[in-house]
Structure 1
Amino acid sequence: MPFTVIRGHFHARGYSPDGDSLRFAPQDTALLGRLSGPRARVNARGHVQLRIEAIDTLETHYTPPAGGGVYAQPAQWAEAAAERLLGFAGITGVVWDAAHRTVVEAADGTPGFILSRAVEKNGRPVAFVFAGDPPEADGAEVFLDAARLEESYNHLALREGLAYPTYYTGLFRELRDSLTAATGAARAAGLGLWPTDGTEAGFDATSLAVITDRVPILPKLFRRLVEYMVSFDTAVGFREKMEESAEPVLDLTEQNFTHFDSFIEQAAGSTRIRLTRPPEALVFDEMVARPADQFSRLLDPSAAP
């Protein structure tokens, strides 16, 4: 299935962008109606919030569903990713508020385009993000290959070590393989957050400050652990709680369909936690649980765009 080219402009002023989410004003909002999934949420300014495909950067302002405050991951890399995205989009003169959450001033409205096929459950187009003008007409349908992918912010964020790869079922294997190679190169070169990453090395979650102030970890793991620790005031028992949730995931290493908790290592009574798979070895299903055979195309080399 091809991607739709949607021209537009990037906006940050009055918003809280981070390293994997930015506001975008399509030149023709009607093109959003071509995308599969629910209707895109367009605000009064004609802007949509993008969900940038295949990457997850450190949280700058996360509120657990049950409440309990606003939490962020280590600011060095969370803020670096946000600044890199704004720079990639050509937005300059950025002034943040005192909490470094909201952009109060910026020279935005810069030109760019997205390649998208779908809108996710929160009304955000799932997008590959590009600066400048596309060679195609607005609304054209194109096939995205690995060479063009390298021009996107998605690829750049991974190859500079500013983001974790986070894959979902809609991502083609050819594109995933290119993003995984970029991740591996950044990790091997010790770029960005990788030298201090605690996801596989493990970390001792004796307090929330460990993961909010000191140790960067996969944001998907961070969000679930924060929610648990806010509710129970400890990390003890986290894996067991994750087991109850049975979050579906495809393990690319063993080509096995299982659950996220299968890769969370935590001894009984301990606060030490780690993932036993690198993030790029997992494919998550953001929809409701589906039969495992619906994942099968992700393992098929012929399932390319």
Structure 2
Amino acid sequence: MPMLLIKGSFKVSERAKPDGDTVPFVPDDPADWKLVPGCKRILPAADGHANIRLEGVDALETHYGGSYGPDQHQPIGLAHRAADELLKWLGFTGIVRGADETVTLTPAAVPGFILTRGTDVFGRCVALVGRGAPPGCTGYEIDVDEALVKKTANHHLLSLGLAYPTFYKGFPVRLRDVLATAARQARESTPPLGVWAEDVTRSGVKITGMTSLTADDGAVVLPKLFRRLKEYLDLDPMDPSLACFPSYLAGGADEFRIPPDTKRIIGLQNVVEITDGNTVRMTHQPEEIVFEEK
């Protein structure tokens, strides 16, 4: 699949709070941001950077606010491992993390490139992330094959089990399969790698409040499920009952397919199961679900 290649550098500014699936990027030519397709244009910061959302990757949340309530995080040790591994892989050699999640890095910036098919509905650039010299000329589309995907940070994080695969319809099947295979191998490794050693997305977790998900020893679940649970529980922090959670998910109207079936499914309640009143689980592995881009 042709993707736009942009050459530049990864630079984490002062007071930034990088996580395991988002990293700031500055093109060598800031005008290259105008070449990125999508429903919303990228609005770079004063220093020319914009945040890159890693294609096909969803890491544990380090600070998620949602529509209601204060920021919350998933088990922070694993969340930090993903964020730190991404930075180290890109070439940062010194990572100092403050108590407020801000980081100081050495060196100040590292060279690299992105391969993007465009922006998402929030105006974020979604891309495959590469380090060092690019495989083509900046500002032009190049063909991205399976071998090139395996050289990206996206593949690296999934191969170590430090993030979950989360796919959207516009990402080509053959490239999606490369990332899905990396995630599956990490999960099926003996012992399972990264998040998979503790993941209870399929087996289920009993919810007694937000601390079930946010304590250092809290349950490790798919970040998308965590975000939906956090938003739901924030509506009434004193009531951890999940009785109305399926209805809440139906109202959210996430749209997805479960290939090879092409039927469009509306609402995560179709792949989320509530048992024993307050135990929640997903009925499919994350790489089996392909979300629609809205």
1:223 is matched with which residue: 227, 245, 248? 227
Structure 2, unmatched stretches of 5+, are none
Deviation, structure 1 residue 74: 0.5
What one-letter code is carried by the residue in structure 1 that aligns with 2:282? L
1:284 aligns with 2:284: no
Preserved CA contact (<8 Å) 2:170 2:293: no
Partner in structure 2 of residue 171 of structure 1: 171
Query: In structure 2, what is the Cα distance between the partners aligned to 1:91 and 1:104?
Result: 10
Partner in structure 2 of residue 103 of structure 1: 103
1:265 is matched with which residue: 246, 269, 273? 273
TM-score normalised by structure 2 residue count: 0.93
Deviation, structure 1 residue 121: 2.2
1:240 aligns with 2:247: yes
Structure 1, unmatched stretches of 5+, are 288-305
| 1:127-153 deviation line (CA, Å, top 9, x unaligned) | 100010113122232111111100000
Moved over 4 A (4+): none
Query: In structure 2, what is the Cα distance between the partners aligned to 1:261 and 1:253?
Result: 20
Deviation, structure 1 residue 253: 5.6
Partner in structure 2 of residue 72 of structure 1: 73
| 1:70-105 deviation line (CA, Å, top 9, x unaligned) | 100011210000000110111122222223x11145
1:17 partner SS: coil
TM-score normalised by structure 1 residue count: 0.89
Partner in structure 2 of residue 12 of structure 1: 12
What one-letter code is carried by the residue in structure 2 that aligns with 1:129? V
Query: In structure 1, what is the Cα distance between the partners aligned to 2:195 and 2:8?
Result: 31
What one-letter code is carried by the residue in structure 2 that aligns with 1:80? R
Deviation, structure 1 residue 195: 1.8
Preserved CA contact (<8 Å) 2:207 2:279: yes
Query: In structure 1, what is the Cα distance between the partners aligned to 2:241 and 2:164?
Result: 23
Partner in structure 1 of residue 48 of structure 2: 46
Query: In structure 2, what is the Cα distance between the partners aligned to 1:203 and 1:135?
Result: 44
Query: In structure 1, what is the Cα distance between the partners aligned to 2:206 and 2:222?
Result: 15
What one-letter code is carried by the residue in structure 2 that aligns with 1:134? P
Query: In structure 1, what is the Cα distance between the partners aligned to 2:105 and 2:162?
Result: 24
| More moved, 131-140 vs 244-253 | 244-253
Alignment of 1:175-254 (within 5 A): 175-189=175-189, 190-213=192-215, 214-233=218-237, 234-236=240-242, 237-252=244-259, 254=261
Query: In structure 2, what is the Cα distance between the partners aligned to 1:264 and 1:252?
Result: 17
Preserved CA contact (<8 Å) 2:65 2:72: yes
Partner in structure 2 of residue 296 of structure 1: none
Partner in structure 2 of residue 2 of structure 1: 2
2:8 partner SS: strand
Partner in structure 2 of residue 120 of structure 1: 120
Deviation, structure 1 residue 61: 0.5
1:85 aligns with 2:89: no
Identity of aligned residues (%): 37
